[in-house]
Chain A
Amino acid sequence: MAEVQLVILFTSVALVVIGLYSAIFLDNIIKKIIGISFIEEGVNLFIVAIGYKAGGIVPILMPGMDTTWFASNAAYPLPFGLVLTSIVIGASTLAVMLALVMVLYRRYGTLSTKVMLADTSKREEYNE
């Protein structure tokens, strides 16, 4: 395994672990969401790292290239395609989450998870 790939894998693991840590221990909802998007980015980075090939070329078959040479030298393109889709999904999820946080911030006036997203079944009043 190439050193570059190893470094990328370590980074992705670090991102996931930091994300899980912040999801449990941080109280501010925005910080929590940033941590959660760390998890997503860590996973994306991991999948990109799968397609890495030391000294590989861009997987686009240009005119005049020998196909057997191309097949043995090009990086694996499938992970990149998957990550592209996954980034788009992650962005839309993030947008919806932040929109919901905006609405809730207007209602509660705070970003603390303990206040905003606590157990609601015991609360009697409901402030619009």
Chain B
Amino acid sequence: MKLYDQIFGVVKQFRKLFSPGPVTNADVSGSITAEIFLIVSLVLSAILLRHVNVLLAGLVTMILAIMLISNIPLIPKFKLEQDDSLEKMLFYAIVALVILATFMYWGGNLV
């Protein structure tokens, strides 16, 4: 019952996602699909770590799955972080640049 309530709460939260304007059932079902797709695909891509280390892959997959499922709804948070404001875009671009440069300079040979 708890999971059902949680999913119902998720659907209610989607209303905020589509404001202003009405929420149609096609939009809600699309959002639920997006939610499931996001969880499954992230977990699936975590399995790719098995080419580095099988134990690590199992651990990361488990932790990621538990974390993602216990944090639903993810899509409103995801969408909020990827809106059109210049500040967020610039912030993520520069963070990506810094991580990329730092990682490559010191860790590019590790792979």
Contacts and interface: CB of A to CB of B under 8 A. Distances in A.
Interface of A: 20, 23-24, 113-114, 117-122, 124
Interface of A is mostly: loop
Interface residues of B, number: 11
Contacts, number: 27
A80 B2 CA distance: 68
A119 B83 CA distance: 6
A47 to B, nearest CB: 18
Interface of B is mostly: helix
A118 B91 CA distance: 13
A113 B19 contact: no
A21 to B, nearest CB: 9
Closest 8 pairs between A and B when the two form their complex, measured CB to CB: A117-B86, A119-B83, A119-B85, A119-B84, A118-B85, A113-B86, A120-B84, A24-B94
Nearest to B20: A124
A19 to B, nearest CB: 10
Contact of A122 (B20, B91, B94, B97): B20
